[in-house]
Amino acid sequence: MTTVTSMKCACESCLCIVSLENALQKNGKYYCCEACADGHVNEKGCGHTGCTCG
C-alpha cells in the first residue's frame, strides 16, 4: 500500500505540487494557495516561481 503525501494543485493551469498536510483544502480538492482555491476570481497566478496559472 502506498500513502500519498503530495499531489498537483487542483487548479487546472497550476503547476505546483502541494503536500497534503500544508495544502488548502476546498470542496474535497487540494490547492497551493487561496487564489487557486477561489478559482482566481480576484488574483491571477499563485505567486510561486515559474507558475503563471489563473
Instruction: Domains for the chain: give ranges and CATH numbers.
Output: 1-54 (2.30.170.10)
In the predicted structure, residue 1 carries a pLDDT above the cut 90: no
Q: Identify whether the C-beta of residue 7 lies closer than 8 Å to the C-beta of residue 13.
A: no
Q: Model confidence over 22-51: pLDDT tens digits?
A: 999 999 999 999 999 999 999 999 999 999
Q: Identify whether the C-beta of residue 36 lies closer than 8 Å to the C-beta of residue 14.
A: yes
CA 22 from centroid of its chain's CA atoms:
10
Location of C-alpha cell 499563485 = 46
Q: Identify whether the C-beta of residue 15 lies closer than 8 Å to the C-beta of residue 53.
A: yes
Reported pTM? 0.88
Please report the sign of the dihedral spanned by the C-alpha atoms of residue 10, residue 54, residue 23, residue 29.
negative
Residue 35 phi, psi (nearest 5)? -60, -45
